[in-house]
Amino acid sequence: MGTVDQIREWATTNDFFEKNIVKQGKDVLILSNNKYPHIHIGPDFITYSKAPTNHMYIVEKGSEMVNQDRVLNAHSGCGEAHIMQACRYMSSQF
């Protein structure tokens, strides 16, 4: 199981995200209390979206490496519990 798959499985089986997760096929969105910010877990990438035109890759397409600097940036710049929890998990596991 790759990094993206592992994070997707953790998010979709974690009760903490029960009301703040949207599944669409292999795509999973971890939502804040609003539409933005959110984390988008795609089939082979993970992005943090702060606004409609402000996205940064946490895991680049086709890569299995979590970009620690971007995870920390998302965590510190967000203030939303669900996003911060996902960032803590990604940072501590990978």
pLDDT band at 48 (very low <50, low <70, confident <90, very high): very high
pLDDT band at 93 (very low <50, low <70, confident <90, very high): confident
The CA-atom distances, in angstroms, between 19 and each of 37, 43, 53, 70, 92 are: 15, 22, 25, 25, 23
Instruction: Give the contacts of 91 (CB within 8 A, at least 6 positions apart).
Output: 66, 68, 71, 72, 75
Burial of 66 (0-12, 13-18, 19+ CB in 10 A): buried
pLDDT of residue 78: 83
Q: pTM (2 decimals)?
A: 0.91
pLDDT at 23 over 70: yes
